[in-house]
Structure 1
Amino acid sequence: MNRSLAISGSSTLIYTGLAILMGVLPGIWLSRVPPTPGLKPLTPLEARGRDVYVSEGCFYCHTQQVRPLSGDKPFGRPSAPGDYAYQTTELLGSERNGPDLSNIGTRQSSSIWQYIHLYQPRAVVPQSIMPAFPWLFRVVDKLPPDEKAVPLPPQFAPGGTVIPNDDGKALAAYLLSLKQPALVSTQPGAAPLGPSSRPLGFDATKGAALFADNCASCHGAEGKGVPGTFPPLAGDPVVNAANPTAHIGAVLHGLSGNVINGHKYEAPMPAFADQLSDQQIADIIDHERSSWGNRGALISAADVVAARANEPLQNRATPPEQVSPVAAPAPTFDAAEGSKLFADNCAACHGAEGKGVPGTFPPLAGDEVVNATDPTEHISAMLRGLSGKAINGQKYEVEMPPFADRLSDQQITDIINHERTSWGNHGPLVTPADITKLRAKK
């Protein structure tokens, strides 16, 4: 009996000690972690929205914890303990069927977008698997005073005027409150942790990725926007203008209530001046100016710096360093089409990131021919193929097929220009005329 009591008592003491050591003490320590500088407590409306977030089960599919991994970069900076100072219990989540929401209030700061997305996610993200939440809204015949209608695309409108109910307003307010303040390094002289910049130049791959992460949810992956709600970028006069001031200003400072092509768009466009570096903004703008049939002159990070300082920018033609030495016409490069053509015809061997397969298929990233000022050899390889060629000291026996009879001059141009503007490459662009001229040389 005494032995049983001793074992029982000892076990209780051990378990109690472990609970204090592993649960209570860390909890006390964490409760004393100060809020991240700039973090704000929830307002009563936002706190109610948090309750709606829980009751609707949003945390089953969305996390609120950004990991220090490259795949999490689109969601914000890595989460810090102070980010959760005003949130008890923390809604970290364990499944990520949808994107992380730690910084959704910064990434998507439009309440109109949030309402449309909650009412019918596929109205703004066609490939979304998120369920719709129409019970967070009301359909009325007449718009009440002091209410704003949710501007749904016609194919998703129910036939009346849609307005959010109190739970819908609260949930949207909570989502918009989820913003990560910038972290300040404790090392003397260090700058706030934020987006990094790169050398000047347009990287088509990074431009496409940045657009997908920051812009496509409103403007669409194909630049078509959402009719009546978010403006299209394909064919937009500002995107194609010779003077890029208005285009850069919109990305830096946002827009609200602007009339575009005769239609007034109420949904505000968020400002990206504090979210993205000058180079990242330049890459996004150059992606928009070279995709979906747009032919706007490319810009540089220096143009974004000047626009931040309100310095006037001049009309510009294609910069001289981007003009091919083979032909005089300005390059015509559709970045989105070039990326697709490369994926369909080249990525199987050279890889989606241009790294190739060591010893079997050569890399294109950093390749001397791809970055050469004279594109003759690059074009010739695409037209006529290669076999048994030594590249950077490595002989590649696998034959590269010719594309002269498979692709048009414009398609070959778009592939070559994709290769010359991706993965850190900065080769001058080519034109279809360059391809035509070399195709004629047998």
Structure 2
Amino acid sequence: MEIYNNHKILYIAALSLFVGLTLFAAVIPAYEVDQTTVPLPKSQPLSNDATLGKAVFIREGCVACHSQQVRNVDMDKMWGNRPSIAADYARLTRTDVWRNTASLMGSERTGPDLTNIGSRQPSIDWNFLHLYNPRSVVSASVMPAYPWLFEEKEYPYPEDIVVNVPDEFKKGVTGKIVATADARHLVAFLQSLKQVDLPDGKPVPIFLNTNAASAKAEPAGTTSKLNTELDGKALYAQNCQACHQENGQGLVGAFPPLKDSKVVADQNPEVHFTIIMNGYNGRVSEGYGVMPPVGTNNNLKPEEIAAIMNYERTSWGNKGRKVTVTEIKEMFNKTKTAKTSK
């Protein structure tokens, strides 16, 4: 074949294949994830000090021994309140156009995982001591000391942070040990590493729910029509909206959408009902969080469950069959009987 005899054609073909594969297998998927994955509602961007501290963290090679990823395995339970999901890293951005040091998930865990270190060890004094000499606070630590992040001063300024190091770890230092700007920034970064709690499906207080608050109070003695679209919308806002959002599209990388959901559109509502009552963890492998048993946790009545299901089945372009209170009561009673018999 001519391609094997012409080195220019062979080179161009190989280069084109390499560039094409790189675009379709790496660049385009990464761009799409970056554009669609959104931060968790309660997450906060890094402060200026924490951003500078992240640079120190990278410079000192801390990522070589510390990971920032809680896996969905029992041995990782000590590092966070839940497994990490894609949305946990949504606020992280490239250092610059040439360097992609956005997430520092790491691949080794010689030292503890740092995903939630800001909550596990919030003490500023402990963090400074640990950096100066880890053995001063953890006798068996194998972490190297970072004394160059500190300086000795005979007369510190009032704004200086003086680290009270035990005498046995001062190694001949006679003055005061003061944290440098790098040490302060690094500790600020470590303290910013706090795992955000996922919404637990508990009802939103009524005064925060504009839909429910705007509804007129019913006269005493009347029976609420819990299966109406208005009530379904209000109940959805109270119990489901924190995760799946008002537009039903969820949060990419955190909570799956209900819009165009096969479960919601299914003519048989049993799976839809079961997920509301018992929760769901079937999409953890896709990066979504575990859904709590909202119906059980919030003691929802069959009428309320039917209202929520009907709202989800007929909103955002969904064309699912409406359920009746009678069939939901039957499923509700079956669920109750199954739990009692265990």
Amino acid at match of 1:127: A
What is residue 21 of structure 1 aligned with on the other side? 24
Higher relative contact order (CA 8 A, sep 6+): 2
Task: Spell out, residue by residue over 1:129-161, the C-alpha distance to the aligned partner (whole angstroms, 9 max, x if none).
Answer: 001001111111123112232122232233321
What is residue 168 of structure 1 aligned with on the other side? 183
Among 62, 79, 82, the alignment partner of 2:84 is 79
Amino acid at match of 1:155: E
What is residue 46 of structure 2 aligned with on the other side? 42
Shift of 1:46: 1.1
Q: Where in structure 2 are the equivalents of 1:358-397 lying within 5 Å?
A: none
What is residue 108 of structure 1 aligned with on the other side? 121
Q: Which has the higher helix share?
A: 2
Amino acid at match of 2:30: G
Shift of 1:112: 0.8
Runs of 4+ that moved beyond 3 A:
4-14, 185-190
Q: TM-score, normalised by structure 1?
A: 0.40
Amino acid at match of 1:160: G
Shift of 1:185: 5.9
Residue identity over aligned pairs, in percent, reads 39
Task: Spell out, residue by residue over 1:78-106, the C-alpha distance to the aligned partner (whole angstroms, 9 max, x if none).
Answer: 11112222323211111111001111111
Hey, what's the Cα distance between the residues in 2 that align with 1:84 and 1:123?
32
Q: Where in structure 2 are the equivalents of 1:312-351 lying within 5 Å?
A: none
Q: Across the two proteins, how many residue pairs are aligned to each other?
A: 193
Hey, what's the Cα distance between the residues in 2 that align with 1:144 and 1:9?
64
Amino acid at match of 2:64: Y
Hey, what's the Cα distance between the residues in 2 that align with 1:85 and 1:112?
30
Hey, what's the Cα distance between the residues in 1 that align with 2:185 and 2:111?
20
Mapped pair 1:183 → 2:177: no
Hey, what's the Cα distance between the residues in 1 that align with 2:158 and 2:19?
60
Task: Spell out, residue by residue over 1:334-392, the C-alpha distance to the aligned partner (whole angstroms, 9 max, x if none).
Answer: xxxxxxxxxxxxxxxxxxxxxxxxxxxxxxxxxxxxxxxxxxxxxxxxxxxxxxxxxxx
Shift of 1:171: 0.7
Change (3 A) 1:15 1:75: same
Shift of 1:162: 1.2
Gaps of 5+ in 1: 194-442
CA RMSD of aligned residues (A): 2.6
Hey, what's the Cα distance between the residues in 1 that align with 2:33 and 2:158?
46
Contact between 1:30 and 1:81, CA under 8 Å: does it hold in 2?
no
Query: Is the partner of 1:129 in helix, strand or coil?
Result: coil
What is residue 60 of structure 1 aligned with on the other side? 64
Amino acid at match of 1:179: K
Q: Where in structure 2 are the equivalents of 1:91-170 lying within 5 Å?
A: 91-157=104-170, 158-170=173-185
Q: TM-score, normalised by structure 2?
A: 0.52
Amino acid at match of 2:87: G
Query: Is the partner of 1:51 in helix, strand or coil?
Result: helix
Hey, what's the Cα distance between the residues in 2 that align with 1:22 and 1:124?
46
